[in-house]
Structure 1
Amino acid sequence: MKFKITIFFLSLLVSVSAFAQEVFDINVFVDADKNIYLEEQKLSMSELLEETKALVYKQSAMKYNRLVYNIYADKNLKHGFIMDINHQLLRAVEGLKSKTNKYHLEYESLDLDEAAWQLEIKALKLEAIED
């Protein structure tokens, strides 16, 4: 009987996860001075891993099955620095299907003091940089 219940539970879990098709977006902004913003929170490179984990772990397991990192970086930053940020993000939830989109921005045209910086960036309709 335990065997049948276990199989039923596993098949139910697989069925439920098949319906969880939403993507969880995490937005990261990096300005020309290498200040890092994870969503609305300003942090250092050393805090990025743990704060990203905390952000993802708060989400419903049944709602999201993929993760997309959007890195919006000043166009004058070195690619190596952006790669270091991406590496920290990917380490936060190893094993979860994820993708990274990278965008170059003109830092001077953005006002980060407003809580709506993410909306302003999305309104720009940027194309991701191809790797």
Structure 2
Amino acid sequence: MKFKITLLFFSLFLIANTGHSQEAFEINVFVDADKNIYLEEQKLSMNELLEETKALVYKQPAVKYNRLVYNIYADKNLKHGFIMDLNHQLLRAVDGLKSKTNKYLLEYKNLDLDESAWQLEIKSLKLDAIED
């Protein structure tokens, strides 16, 4: 009986905490005009994107995040179909978790993607996401 009561309190604790403390986990992806893909600081091919995104999400604490936000920063000269394929790969990475995608089209100059600061430089631009 003591085990059931402890389990009940533990379950109620988890339910109470997950309802209030969870937030969105943001994943940033950059794609340049040459279709080079950067998942956070890591340069990947389209074939590697699914598994690397899964690995990134699976490393996160279970009770901290209840949804994903994908931020895709793409060169404005890319075809929309390529951006859609990229988004599809990201969404496949974690089925069942609520997610949202923000897409931004950029004309980038003097952005050094070998540096981990590319995300800070893009975020400093205060961009508006494009509507689907």
| TM-score, structure 1 normalization | 0.92
Deviations 1:108-127 (A, max 9, x none): 34221322000000000000
Deviation for aligned residue 1:13: 1.9
1:23 maps onto 2:24 in alignment: yes
How far apart, CA to CA, are the structure 1 residues paired with 2:108 and 2:89? Answer: 22
Contact 1:32/1:107 (<8 A) preserved: no
Report how many residues are paired: 131
1:70 maps onto 2:60 in alignment: no
Runs ≥4 residues deviating over 3 A = 2-9
Written as runs of structure 1 = structure 2, the 5 A alignment for 1:40-119 is 40-119=41-120
List runs of 5+ in structure 1 lacking aligned partners: none
Q: CA RMSD in A?
A: 1.4
Contact 1:27/1:70 (<8 A) preserved: yes
Deviation for aligned residue 1:5: 4.6
Contact 2:68/2:97 (<8 A) preserved: yes
Contact 2:41/2:115 (<8 A) preserved: no
How far apart, CA to CA, are the structure 1 residues paired with 2:22 and 2:13? Answer: 16
| TM-score, structure 2 normalization | 0.91
Identical-residue share of aligned pairs (%): 78
Alignment partner of 2:87: what SS? helix
Deviations 1:93-112 (A, max 9, x none): 11111100000001334221
Alignment partner of 1:100: what SS? strand
Alignment partner of 2:109: what SS? helix
How far apart, CA to CA, are the structure 1 residues paired with 2:117 and 2:7? Answer: 46
Contact 1:20/1:65 (<8 A) preserved: no
